[in-house]
Amino acid sequence: MAAFTFFTNPMSRGQIGRWALHEAGADYEQVLIDWEDKPAALMAVNPLGKVPTIIHHAPGGDRAVSEAAAICAYLADVCPEAALAPTEAERADYYRWLFFAAGPLEQAATAHLYGFAPEDDRSRISLGFGTYHAAMGAIEQHLAANDFVCGSRFTMADVYVGSQVDWGLTFGTFPKNATFEAYAERCRQRPAYQAGKAIDNALIAEMQQHG
């Protein structure tokens, strides 16, 4: 049995999970999910039926992890040989920007995609991301001064943040500027990114051919 069971669909955030698994050098078995017929094994560990979800078949028993950012952090912790968890000096930036990307940044991008903008100060405070431009400006400012989330070294936080920037540029939810383009390109040069993307692109092509 592989160390991890990986529930995914290539046309989803499952791509983040696959990239993280490849960066971690994890041995995994994929289970492809049909949106209309989700398997009982997935629903048993994640009642929302969301992907990516992983099950770590650890020596002490199975451990299920959902939410792409959590999967990234978990894999960095349990696969220390990959050296993608933060050092003590990197922890502040690692956790700050990982959770910022999973919360306010994704909320801002999604709101922008659907044409929603808070109309007053009270709404901006309640929503948590302030404004689209404020959220984008915060991460842009950090990446303009650093090659990666934690400075000059790639960590697992870059799998999540890099995925957000990569997809945001592709689908128009992030502004196209030199800082985001350069950061996305650094992430795209990772062998694990390219390996995971090749698998998912092939699966998407196969699905489209038979769909």
Residue located via tokens 């500027």? 177
**Whole-model pTM?**
0.96
Please compute the mean of the pLDDT values over residues 115-132 and round it to a whole number.
80
Give the pLDDT of residue 211. Answer: 63
Distance CA(211)–CA(207), nearest Å, equals 6
pLDDT in tens, 14-67: 999 999 999 999 999 999 999 999 999 999 999 999 999 999 999 999 999 999
Distance CA(190)–CA(197), nearest Å, equals 11
137 has pLDDT over 70: yes
pLDDT in tens, 192-202: 999 999 999 99
Domains, the chain, ordered by start: 4-83 (3.40.30.10), 88-191 (1.20.1050.10)
| SS3 state of residue 62 | strand
Q: Which residues of 175-196 are buried (b: 16+ CB within 10 A; e: fewer)?
A: eeeebbeebbebbeebebbeeb
Computed over every residue of the chain, the mean pLDDT equals 95
pLDDT in tens, 87-116: 999 999 999 999 999 999 999 999 999 998
Distance CA(166)–CA(197), nearest Å, equals 12
